């Protein structure tokens, strides 16, 4: 096939090249010279974004497999495959990011044999490892179908329900545990974000973001792979998203009032820097999308759903970065700004996620129209030819 260089492919290649160079710097010179991390600020962008946000953004996998396979909501089935693909790629990339962040990445297997069950990090490590395997198995039928391997396909299909259940349990555990990580630092994390409810908030927001990412992804795929939008499905997801956000919002506000944070905020007791980022998070993640989704007209329109989903995703990315970076700065006594190498690696990881998604869609039966099974309800347009790397946001009409 002829390779056609488009604008977004060029961006992708530039990002990957920068990341490749940053990788050399990171492993040749060590963490000290390749990052702005220090004794005062040992966790930066790679933990805050690549790991905390990465795991959160991949939460659609367990949310949707549970809805379809456990709760038997067959209507949602057409979007399970792209969602599982995203989740699988997401977790693989989280593991890649960890290899950059660990001081001695070649010992990443140590938690397998040197166990400390009192450590939240140990639990997260185990869950992420097991869940990545579960996702690989959940994803495997797509590859097996492509190569028509009937026997392993049969075995996987039989094991699907236990696998999905295991996946949901593992996800519940580690999505919440990423919040539990911070429970041991009551004196370090800013009161805006330190609460005994951190695990609950991390779990609920993972579900919200999982739903939002699914809406976002379906909208993007519709635009870039020349597919019809599964609007009724997205509308249903939008309704569930509204409920999850409302539950999260009520708990969050109640927690802030209960701990006296809101009262203090109105009394002007906090620094402006933290206050601004805290309010930004609440507006992006809660106020704006709740206001949008509350209107049926917005909730039923593709544009309204898309906007709400993007806001939720951005809002909770802000939340994770606030917990891991903003909230830790005042106790560390410094402002952390990532070095170019850190940004380049993170950029490269995001870029390779988009590239792999594009490639998978091109070569594997991800969307329902490509399935060898008889076609479903709605007729699908043929999948476009040259798609690699065109799945980048804000790429208006092609």
Nearer to another protein, 251 or 288 (CB): 251
Among 1, 3, 4, 117, binds another protein (CB under 8 A): 117
Cβ 347 to another protein, closest distance in Å? Answer: 23
The DSSP annotation for 65-103 comes to HIIIIIS--GGGGGGHHHHHHHHHHHHHHHHHHHHHHSS
How many Å apart are CA 171 and CA 130, to the nearest integer? 10
Of the candidates 351, 57, 379, 389, the one whose C-alpha atom is nearest the C-alpha of residue 225 is 389
| Count of residues of this chain found to bind another protein when the rule CB under 8 A is applied | 58
Asked if 94 interacts with another protein (CB under 8 A), we say no
Among 14, 20, 136, 161, binds another protein (CB under 8 A): 161
Among 45, 52, 181, 351, binds another protein (CB under 8 A): 181
Q: Quick one: which segment of 67-75, 212-220, 315-323, 361-369 binds another protein (CB under 8 A)?
A: 67-75
Asked whether the beta carbons of 323 and 192 are under 8 A apart, the reply is no
Asked whether the beta carbons of 304 and 292 are under 8 A apart, the reply is yes
Tell me which residue has tokens 């206050």.
Answer: 275
Asked if 263 interacts with another protein (CB under 8 A), we say no
Residues 6+ apart with CB under 8 A from 102: 108
The DSSP annotation for 163-183 comes to HHHHHHHHHHHHHHHHHHGGG
Asked if 353 interacts with another protein (CB under 8 A), we say no
Asked if 107 interacts with another protein (CB under 8 A), we say yes
Name the DSSP letter for residue 336.
-
Residues 307-346 that bind another protein (CB under 8 A): 328
Asked if 105 interacts with another protein (CB under 8 A), we say yes
Nearer to another protein, 186 or 393 (CB): 186
Cβ 341 to another protein, closest distance in Å? Answer: 14
How many Å apart are CA 19 and CA 11, to the nearest integer? 12
CA dihedral angle for residue 85, residue 249, residue 265, residue 43, rounded to 10 degrees: -20
| Interface residue list for another protein (CB under 8 A) | 27-33, 37-40, 42-43, 66, 69-72, 101-105, 107-108, 110-111, 114-123, 125, 161, 165-166, 168-169, 172-173, 176-177, 180-181, 183-188, 196, 199, 328
């Amino acid at each position: 096939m002829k390779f056609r260089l488009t604008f977004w492919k060029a961006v992708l290649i530039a990002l990957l090249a920068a990341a490749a160079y940053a990788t050399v710097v990171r492993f040749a010179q060590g963490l000290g010279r390749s990052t702005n991390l220090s004794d005062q600020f040992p966790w930066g962008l790679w933990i805050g974004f690549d790991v905390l946000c990465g795991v959160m953004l991949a939460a659609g996998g367990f949310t949707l497999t549970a809805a379809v396979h456990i709760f038997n909501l067959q209507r949602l089935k057409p979007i399970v495959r792209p969602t599982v693909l995203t989740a699988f790629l997401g977790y693989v990339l989280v593991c890649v990011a960890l290899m950059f962040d660990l001081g001695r990445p070649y010992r990443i297997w140590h938690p397998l044999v040197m166990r400390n069950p009192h450590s939240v990090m140990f639990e997260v490590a185990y869950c992420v490892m097991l869940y990545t395997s579960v996702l690989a198995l959940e994803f495997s039928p797509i590859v097996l179908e492509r190569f028509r391997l009937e026997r392993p396909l049969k075995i996987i299909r039989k094991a699907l329900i236990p696998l999905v259940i295991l996946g949901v349990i593992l996800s519940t555990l580690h999505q919440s545990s990423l919040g539990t990580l911070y429970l041991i630092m009551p004196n370090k994390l800013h009161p805006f974000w330190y609460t005994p409810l951190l695990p609950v908030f991390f779990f609920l927001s993972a579900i919200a973001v999982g739903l939002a990412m699914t809406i976002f992804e379906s909208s993007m795929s519709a635009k870039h792979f020349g597919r019809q939008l599964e609007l009724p499905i997205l509308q249903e997801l939008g309704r569930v998203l509204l409920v999850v956000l409302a539950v999260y919002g009520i708990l969050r506000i109640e927690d802030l009032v209960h701990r006296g944070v809101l009262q203090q905020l109105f009394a002007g007791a906090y620094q402006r820097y933290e206050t601004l980022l805290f309010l930004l998070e609440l507006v992006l993640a809660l106020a704006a999308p709740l206001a949008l989704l509350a209107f049926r007209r917005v909730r039923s329109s593709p544009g309204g759903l898309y906007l709400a989903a993007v806001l939720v995703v951005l809002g909770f990315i802000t939340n994770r970065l606030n917990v891991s970076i903003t909230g830790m700065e005042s106790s560390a006594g410094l402002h952390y700004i990532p070095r170019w190498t850190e940004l380049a690696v993170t950029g490269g990881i995001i870029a390779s996620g988009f590239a792999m998604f594009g490639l998978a869609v091109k070569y594997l039966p991800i969307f329902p129209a490509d399935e060898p099974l008889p076609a479903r309800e709605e007729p699908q347009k043929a999948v476009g030819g040259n798609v690699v790397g065109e799945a980048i946001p804000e790429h208006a009409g092609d």
